[in-house]
């Protein structure tokens, strides 16, 4: 068994289709199928249930998939650390990103780190929150950014960034009569919201906000990306929520942004890290993240 076997299995397990997995790996389907059968023979277990129409993971396959991902990630991190040392870096911080972390804040933080600590490398990983929390507990990540603040034992969540919520409104819309839009007025129109299953943490924070008004919202569409939300708003499907940090980083024709007339309307980004002693580079990284949170955003586009 080698890393090639693991990469092949992960592709098939994620695609649940040998043809798609083969195209993803740029190999022929028959050799890929033989590789998976050889892996199963080496392990002595069945990882995949195959029928003429479907491919499904067995319970053993589900467990092996998680472990295979962990092994590959650890190998990639070992490569990164070795290359960082060879390039003169004194260490590398492994930072995970879960959910829609604002690009403006993140860019400012990374630029500050390069300016103040160029000898410390930073490696970024995007992953679901559950995988991020597990990675923090298993020493796969040094820290992470997420929209969730309720963590299991052993993981600390520090609020670092609070970004005011704003309303994305189609051009020539009645809500544009307000310089600061009351939440009660917003829920009088169809909403384009982040998908609760894909953007769980952001969705929970928005739900808490909407519970402040008595009128139940009407949802026109659930979306999985900020860009799709802006596109649907521009097309007149409804109005959406964004943050000042996201708006500064994005441009969309025919969408006007106005602040909410609600002081508590903000999305909080948390920095997660394992409980206990931390390295000096990580302490400085957290300090920089908190400093970035106090930097003013360029909100001149909030007209």
Q: How many CB atoms within 10 Å of residue 285?
A: 25
Q: Which two tokens stand for residue 14?
A: 């994620």
Q: Which CATH topology does 90-302 take?
A: D-Maltodextrin-Binding Protein; domain 2 (3.40.190)
Q: Write down the pLDDT at residue 224.
A: 83
The SS3 of residue 66 is helix
Please state, in angstroms and rounded to a whole number, the distance separating the CA atoms of residues 210 and 205.
9
Side-chain half-sphere exposure of 60, counting CA atoms within 13 A:
9
**Alpha-helical regions (H) of the chain:** 3-15, 18-25, 29-43, 59-86, 103-116, 129-137, 183-186, 200-210, 226-234, 244-249, 280-293
Domain ranges for the chain, please list them: 3-70, 90-302
Q: Write down the pLDDT at residue 119.
A: 84
In eight-state DSSP terms, residue 44 is T
Long-range contacts from 128-132, C-beta under 8 angstroms, 24+ separation: 128/98, 129/98, 129/99, 129/200, 129/201, 131/69, 132/96, 132/98, 132/272
pLDDT in tens, 93-145: 999 998 767 778 899 999 999 999 988 889 999 888 888 888 898 888 999 99
Architecture of domain 3-70: Orthogonal Bundle (1.10)
Mean pLDDT of each 10-residue bin along the chain, 303 residues long:
92 93 93 94 93 90 92 83 65 85 85 91 87 87 86 87 89 92 92 82 81 89 87 92 74 82 82 90 94 70 44
DSSP bridge partners of 93: 122
The SS3 of residue 71 is helix
Closest by Cα among 232, 229, 244, 222 to 297: 244
3-state helix, strand, coil in the chain (%, to 5): 45, 25, 30
């Amino acid at each position: 068994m080698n890393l090639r076997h693991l990469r092949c299995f992960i592709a098939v397990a994620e695609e649940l289709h040998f043809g798609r997995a083969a195209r993803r790996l740029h190999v022929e389907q028959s050799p890929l199928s033989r590789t998976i059968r050889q892996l199963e023979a080496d392990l002595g277990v069945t990882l995949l249930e195959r029928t003429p129409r479907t491919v499904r993971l067995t319970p053993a396959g589900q467990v092996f998939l998680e472990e295979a991902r962990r092994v590959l990630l650890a190998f990639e991190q070992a490569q990164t650390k070795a290359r960082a040392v060879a390039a003169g870096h004194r260490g590398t911080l492994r930072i995970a990103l879960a959910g829609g972390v604002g690009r403006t804040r993140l860019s400012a933080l990374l630029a500050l780190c390069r300016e103040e600590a160029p000898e410390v490398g930073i490696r970024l990983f995007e992953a679901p929150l559950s995988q991020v929390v597990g990675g923090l507990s298993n020493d796969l990540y040094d820290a992470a950014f997420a929209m969730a603040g309720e963590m299991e034992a052993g993981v600390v969540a520090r609020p670092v960034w609070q970004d005011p919520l704003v309303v994305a409104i189609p051009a020539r819309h009645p809500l544009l009569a307000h310089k600061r839009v009351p939440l009660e007025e917003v829920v009088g129109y169809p909403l384009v919201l982040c998908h609760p299953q894909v953007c769980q943490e952001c969705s929970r924070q928005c739900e808490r906000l909407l519970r402040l008004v008595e009128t139940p919202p009407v949802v026109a569409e659930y979306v999985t990306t900020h860009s799709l939300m802006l596109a649907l708003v521009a097309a007149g499907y409804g109005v959406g929520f964004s943050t000042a940090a996201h708006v500064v980083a994005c441009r969309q024709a025919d969408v006007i942004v106005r602040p909410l007339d609600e002081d508590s309307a903000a999305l909080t980004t948390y920095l997660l890290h394992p409980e206990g002693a931390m390295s000096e580079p990580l302490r400085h990284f957290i300090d920089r993240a908190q400093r970035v949170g106090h930097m003013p955003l360029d909100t001149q586009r909030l007209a």
